[in-house]
Structure 1
Amino acid sequence: MIRRPLVATLAGAAALALAVSACAPQDEDSGASASKSPASCTKDKLPLKSPGKLTVATDKPAFEPWFKDDKPSNGEGFEGAVAYAVAARLGFSKDEVVWKTQSFESSYAPGPKSFDFDINQISVTPARKKAVSFSDGYYNVQQGVVALKDGKYAKATTVAELSKARIAVQVGTTSLKAVTSQIKPGNQPKIFNTQIDAVNALKNKQVDVLVVDLPTAFYVTAAQIDDSKIVGQLPQTQSGGEVEHFGLLMERGSELAGCLDQAIGQLKSSGELAKIEQRWLTSSAGAPVLK
């Protein structure tokens, strides 16, 4: 995904991004811990970085529609709302949630973490699961294609039509993988360190289209690039037909994983997660699936 925000020479970073997002065979041990019983998921029994506090990380700036006003602590925006809903299911009040800044590209690097979980539009891939643990998915992702309204590809209706386009993506995101595996452009996509750089490339007509996750595509067209439009969305698949999804990221082997899965499951079964998504993520109307 590109997202937000959206790191190393570009060539080196691009190679790393492809390696991280590739769907390599997965080890039997994915880094997730065994499920927890309801009793072991009570607040006083959770394995926390700071006793009595739930430490949550995300990137800065924290972009809409995932967060509101670059302020995760206000609980607004899709991921801000999800974080506090998960916290509530674990027994934490809003003032018991502590936010930390963690860059997207370093979040899934191996090693100890200073947070309990990171919520930052991080797609779950087998390669990333070799370094960190993930919760069950809280959002299923589709990739959106953005172009200028007067651009050459503004009226494209098929993936094949985009194969000759100059495409912008952010390094380290699954948008890059979607471009290379689904669009298969004749020219190498132009890879940028940040979302802003990728957005500016389209704005300045250095590229023909920008590929980002669909909710971000709505934000780009609404607030970042005048006279731009969503051309459409790519089919929602990964290699092997698995739907790409965002998960809460933890230190590998975190004993908190089962409790986060339980909280997300409760949010799904109660309908609360669907309501959060409906409120904060723009409908995909007007973004047809490209054939």
Structure 2
Amino acid sequence: MPFAPSFRRAAAATAAAAAIALTLAACSAPSTETATSDDSALQTVTEGKLTIATGEPNYEPWFVDDDPSNGEGFEGAVAVAVAEELGYAADDIVWVRTTFDGAIAPGPKDWDINLQQFSITDERKNAVDFSSPYYTTTQAVVAVGDSSAASATTIDELKEATVGVASGTTSYTVAKAQLGEANLSVFNSVDDVVLALKGGQIDAMITDLPGAFYVVGAQLDDGVVTGQFPDADGGDDFGIVLPKDSALTADVTAAVDALREAGTLDELQQTWLSDAVDVPVLK
């Protein structure tokens, strides 16, 4: 028996509504592949790339040959390791240069992360974000090449030298704890300690390891970093700088934490801040 006209019209209307619903669903719902890709993509300056900034020029042992892209030097290697944790291969890194002060000044940035031995401070956190620390500075010994202190490999040997240190610093606290006060010469500033070392008033000086590299590279003609103390308590924490309220801060911190927990940061520190520059830990 043929259907009544009213029934045919109702059936047609139902079919049309179903077709429209399917069409709208197809248009509005992304494919599984697209949704996964969008959800996992990090918000970077350049899509698919991680832009990493650092200073110019760069010095060893933080970077080698002033070429960040080679992945050598402590911070160069840390940067590549962090990028890999975030899912970026070395070819996906874009390197740019900035000044130190400009990097931690308020305002927009044209990079995603920045490594230049930035100490994490509350004041700087007002203008930029920091990752968790990737390095805590140790205290190191600087001596002139012809000094007996230049060949010291143990704390006991160093106790036989006259050692200069700046008052009111972490260096002084560590020097006093490790060496006692008998052979310490205390000065008002690090610059005064350097002058005393140049003038032969002291055999060696103690300052943080980054400062020690600077003293040897820029202030002394025949200076050597002879060793570093094993205790990093009280040292400055270095963190990766990000633009204020960056969408990447949590991801970068998680990457640094993962590298620390895996022992990778310790391995890189041993490779680039001890073995490569021959700065052993004093025993």
Distance 1:286 1:278, change over 3 A: closer
Larger gyration radius, structure 1 or structure 2: 2
Q: CA deviation at 1:153?
A: 8.5
The AA in structure 2 aligned to 1:114 is: D
Distance 1:269 1:42, change over 3 A: farther
Out of 123, 128, 150, the position equivalent to 1:127 is 123
Q: CA deviation at 1:226?
A: 2.6
The C-alpha deviation readout for 1:256-278, integer Å capped at 9, x for no partner, is 11101111122223333332222
- 1:282 is aligned to 274
Structure with the bigger percentage of helix: 2
Distance 1:228 1:81, change over 3 A: closer
- 2:73 is aligned to 77
Q: CA deviation at 1:103?
A: 1.8
Distance 1:274 1:188, change over 3 A: closer
Asked if structure 2 preserves the Cα contact closer than 8 Å seen for 1:43 and 1:91, the reply is no
Alignment partner of 1:62 is 2:78: no
Asked if structure 2 preserves the Cα contact closer than 8 Å seen for 1:230 and 1:286, the reply is no
Higher relative contact order (CA 8 A, sep 6+): 1
The whole-number CA distance in structure 2 between the counterparts of 1:279 and 1:247 is 19
Distance 1:228 1:264, change over 3 A: closer
Distance 1:265 1:188, change over 3 A: closer
Local SS of the residue matching 1:253: coil
Q: CA deviation at 1:137?
A: 1.0
- 1:269 is aligned to 261
The AA in structure 2 aligned to 1:190 is: D
Q: Give the unaligned 5+ runs of structure 1.
A: 1-38, 168-175, 192-197
Q: Tell me the number of residue pairs that the alignment of Structure 1 and Structure 2 aligns.
A: 229
Q: For 1:233-252, list aligned pairs within 5 A.
A: 233=229, 236-238=232-234, 243-252=235-244
- 1:106 is aligned to 102
The whole-number CA distance in structure 2 between the counterparts of 1:42 and 1:235 is 45
TM-score (norm 2): 0.63
Alignment partner of 1:217 is 2:212: yes
Local SS of the residue matching 2:274: coil
Q: Give the unaligned 5+ runs of structure 2.
A: 1-34, 151-156, 176-184
TM-score (norm 1): 0.62
Local SS of the residue matching 1:261: helix
Local SS of the residue matching 1:259: helix
**Structure 1 vs Structure 2 CA RMSD:** 4.2
Local SS of the residue matching 1:190: helix
Local SS of the residue matching 1:281: helix
Distance 1:229 1:85, change over 3 A: closer
Local SS of the residue matching 1:262: helix
Distance 1:203 1:58, change over 3 A: farther
Asked if structure 2 preserves the Cα contact closer than 8 Å seen for 1:41 and 1:90, the reply is no
The C-alpha deviation readout for 1:98-135, integer Å capped at 9, x for no partner, is 11111223322222222111011111122222221100
The whole-number CA distance in structure 1 between the counterparts of 2:46 and 2:142 is 42
- 1:21 is aligned to none
The C-alpha deviation readout for 1:52-88, integer Å capped at 9, x for no partner, is 2111111111111111111001111111111111111
Q: Which moved more, 1:262-271 or 1:145-154?
A: 145-154
Distance 1:90 1:234, change over 3 A: closer
The AA in structure 1 aligned to 2:125 is: K
The C-alpha deviation readout for 1:198-227, integer Å capped at 9, x for no partner, is 98x789659966665326636865997435
